[in-house]
A = this chain, B = another copy of it.
């Protein structure tokens, strides 16, 4: 299973791009892939093909009305590990024996 974090924004649509980001989140939320939104991106979990398909879907939607798009993606594949959307944070808290800000 793969954890994939990404953020995607148009260039040339002004300083505020929330409108475009929201459309991506709408697609992610409806994709059926599990995810967590954070202030700098969205982390999704699934098999490689599944998570890449979600990013591709957001890209296809955005390029309909955006002529330049920036996207950063970070992937962490770990064989035989699932449910890491929750377990990675929990593991750090367990080591530190206290709750952190999430």
Secondary structure dominating the interface of A = mixed
CB-based nearest B residue for A38 = B38
CB-based nearest B residue for A45 = B39
Interface string of A74-92 (1 = CB under 8 A from B): 1111111000111011011
**Do the beta carbons of A43 and B43 come within 8 Å of each other?**
no
Which of chain B's residues have a CB closer than 8 A to the CB of A98?
Answer: 29
**Do the beta carbons of B72 and A74 come within 8 Å of each other?**
yes
The 14 sampled A-B contact pairs (Cβ below 8 Å) are A11-B17, A12-B15, A18-B92, A18-B95, A29-B98, A34-B101, A37-B92, A39-B88, A40-B74, A40-B88, A70-B74, A71-B75, A71-B77, A72-B74
